[in-house]
Amino acid sequence: MAYNESDTRAKLIDPAIKARGWTEDHIRRETTQPQVRIVGGRGQRSRSGRTDYILRYRINPGTQPVALALIEAKAEDKPPTLGLEQAKRYRERFHVPFVFSSNGHLFVEYDHFTARTTTPQPLAAFPSPGDLRSRYEHGMGFSLADEKVKPLLVPYAGGDAERRYYQDAAIRAVLEKLAHGEKRALLTLATGTGKTFIAVNLLRRIADAGQLRRALFLCDRDELRKQGLNALAARFGSDAAEVKRVGNRNNAQNARIHVATYQTLGVADEDDDATFLTEFYPDNHFSHIVIDECHRSAWGKWHAVLARNPDAVQIGLTATPRTLKLTEDSEEARADERIRADNIHHFGEPVYSYDIAQGIEDGYLAACEIVKRDIFLEAKTSVEAETGLDADDIRNRPLSDAITGRAVGFEEAKQHYDAGAFESRIELPERVAGMCRDLFDNLIATGGPEQKTIIFCARDSHADRVTAELNNLYAVWRTGTGSSRAESYAFKCTAAAGGADYLPDLKGAERSHFIACTVDLLTTGVDVPWLRNVVFFRYMRSPIAFYQMVGRGTRIHEASGKLMFRVYDYTDATRLLGEEFRSQPASIRETGTPEPPDTGTDGNGGSTGTDRIIVVEGVTVEIREGGRYILMRRDGRDERVPIAEYRRMLAAELLKAAPNIGAFRSSWIEPPKRRAMIDPLVEAGFSPKVLQIVENMNEYDSFDVLGEATYGIDARTRLDRAERFKRNSGRWLDTMPVSARTAVLALADQFARGGTEELETASVLRVPAVARAGGVEALKALGHPREVLRQTRARLFAS
């Protein structure tokens, strides 16, 4: 029998490359976070994530190895070229110039420097470490022995184990650019992926190489400043200090690392005079500048900081994707394009990018389900979602001034209001009430109303109305359940309302301050790991702002079981992810289980504005499901893909490996074959676990999730499969000694709790129920325990 991928690597590839000089010191096994699995209705991690083999070169003992290549192994009976395209996709993730694909006998190589691919060659001809080092140096245009390359060779202060593979790739990408003698670099990484960690370790390695004189860490929010200062102080101690005026001096004047906000330096906007900057910082005061969230307030007055330090190394960090599709002709979208263009003009193209969809696939960011809601107003047809209000729509309705309450005549308000004006120029009380009711009902259906949620509102007064509506709904709900109310359920968290005072409660209080209604205050710099929902009640035209808002939900919180979040989209904001795909929205499961409900997220406090706001009463509102989507990466950009479309694409990919249910079943019960079948799905951007969550199939094993989506089988819950196993395996069980039969039945119960992977954990034979029956020794009476487990799996999935 031919070796599978893992055996090919262990028994054929590893010995061959070690014979060429690649020792264990040269090989780094980069393992991503384990995939999400659902046990008892809660998210849990599976046993392990994807492992990639990276070849590295260490120039001297004690120096940081430099990653040069990755190897993609395929089963020995496959062509050596089979894994090359996959390896080329991974090349950018790991930021290495060379990739190899091998079946254990032959290999092919792709060289990014030359863009050339070799013909298949025997593994005996695999390049040695010295060969790849020489080719790397030639391609990069520097020697690893050069003085300017020193930061690249400085080891991580906390060791390799503390960083993630993409963080290391981003840091190397910047240091390689600096080694060329260039002074500007741009990194784009999704919110929640650790940009502060990257900034701190860049500065630490540059400092340890003796190349840092004085550095500035610049950001535009106090929360970001606190986060950056804490992280930098952990690495630099008192050498990192906050920039602020203390009497007539600068608090950070004696520190090497200065941590400042634009506001502190007096460069937050065009009206500022940069007094602090010019008073305390002469030209070229800094040797290095790191600008966090460099797209925000970009290229306004704060550009003076860069202009006054033209000789400094300048590194920009942003969560904005490298490419933003201009989906509409609006001033906000055009402003985003200008900001991005200015960033690219100043820093150059990003040296490394890591987006939300990639972070979800790797298990570092929470999976995202998008629930779109369509709103229909009384005046609109049954097939047309709200687009606005014309004069005829409001002619005979009560109209009033939102500030004074004075009645307003029709002639004063008969202009056209497009939907983007709702709640910013025209208030519709019934619309606000209907959206809040719909959101609250969805929260109840997805686990209860007391979920950490951020709702983005159109303006400060809109946040007031939303807060009041939700608190009223909550009070009625609590009265109906007979339980006591939590204090501060929904609250306004805007600049105008002193929202910053509530941030500690939003972030730290698990039993209060559940629904934050905001405008802009919570867009960046606020880390709420257990945030479950992000809600759009406001119309969005800026892709940059939209990505920042969605990013509030991406952080994983293992302790509370938060491994996914929902975006509830009432204003079609998620169109900014990319072009919408047309397909039928997923329907409610026939079992009668409700679809995963919508939930709310954050609103912030902006300007109340000076334009007259007209209140239009008596407009009937109807809210319907507009489709459910999954956020994924496709054709080089983030997109919302309808769940039905996602199912079809996943099924088409799975059919390549298992063309029928028989092939699928036979591969499923053999762990190596199952991994070989499922891994390509994950590599292509499809996650069985995400599909399980959004299809509300938490009580089903992945076998049934995939089997129903791909082969049309009648899905059975894990409990149903376990009970059928017990009924249908009677004769087999009756042949066993009592202790062995009891142990096998206990294994079936374990499957009912956790599914297939529960039967493959190292500890499954030591769980109490199995151990009480005799565990390994009991199963040995039937043969090898591994074979007993295989037979158990085969019978569990027999029908």
Residue 298 has pLDDT above 60, yes or no: no
pLDDT digits (tens, 9 = 90+) for 58-105: 999 999 999 999 999 988 999 999 989 888 988 999 999 999 999 999
pLDDT band for position 603 (cuts 50, 70, 90): very low
**% of the chain surpassing 70 pLDDT:** 85
What burial letters (b/e) apply to 457-477, b meaning 16+ CB within 10 Å? bbbbbbbbbbbbbbbebbeeb
* pLDDT, tens only, 405-445: 777 776 666 666 677 778 778 888 999 999 999 999 999 98
8 versus 757: the higher-pLDDT residue is 8
Report pLDDT for 34: 58
The dotted CATH code for 367-376+423-641 is 3.40.50.300
Comparing 5-140 with 367-376+423-641, is the CATH topology the same? no
Q: 3-state class of 525 per DSSP?
A: coil
Give the pLDDT confidence score for residue 69 in this predicted structure.
96
Q: pLDDT band for position 337 (50/70/90)?
A: low
**Angle (nearest 5°) at CA 29 between 134 and 42:** 150
- Hey, where are the domains in the chain? 5-140, 147-354, 367-376+423-641, 644-711, 718-796
Residue 796: closest CA among 727, 710, 706, 714: 727
C-alpha distances out from residue 477 to 482, 516, 544, 611, Å: 9, 19, 37, 37
Least trusted range by pLDDT, from 302-306, 310-314, 444-448, 553-557 = 302-306
CA distance 535 to 567: 6
Asked: is 147-354 a CATH 3.40.50.9100 domain? The reply is no
Lowest mean pLDDT among 194-203, 306-315, 644-653, 670-679: 670-679
Q: Which of 153, 255, 150 is nearest to 211 (CA)?
A: 150
Q: Is 441 exposed, middle or buried (0-12, 13-18, 19+ CB in 10 A)?
A: middle
To the nearest 10°, report the CA torsion of 473, 477, 479, 481. Answer: -170
pLDDT at 360 over 50: yes
43 pLDDT band, cuts 50/70/90, is very low
Would you state the pLDDT for residue 37?
44
The 3-class SS string of 9-51 reads: HHHHHHHHHHHCCCCHHHEEEEECCCCEEEECCEEEECCCCCE
Q: What is the CATH number of domain 5-140?
A: 3.90.1570.30
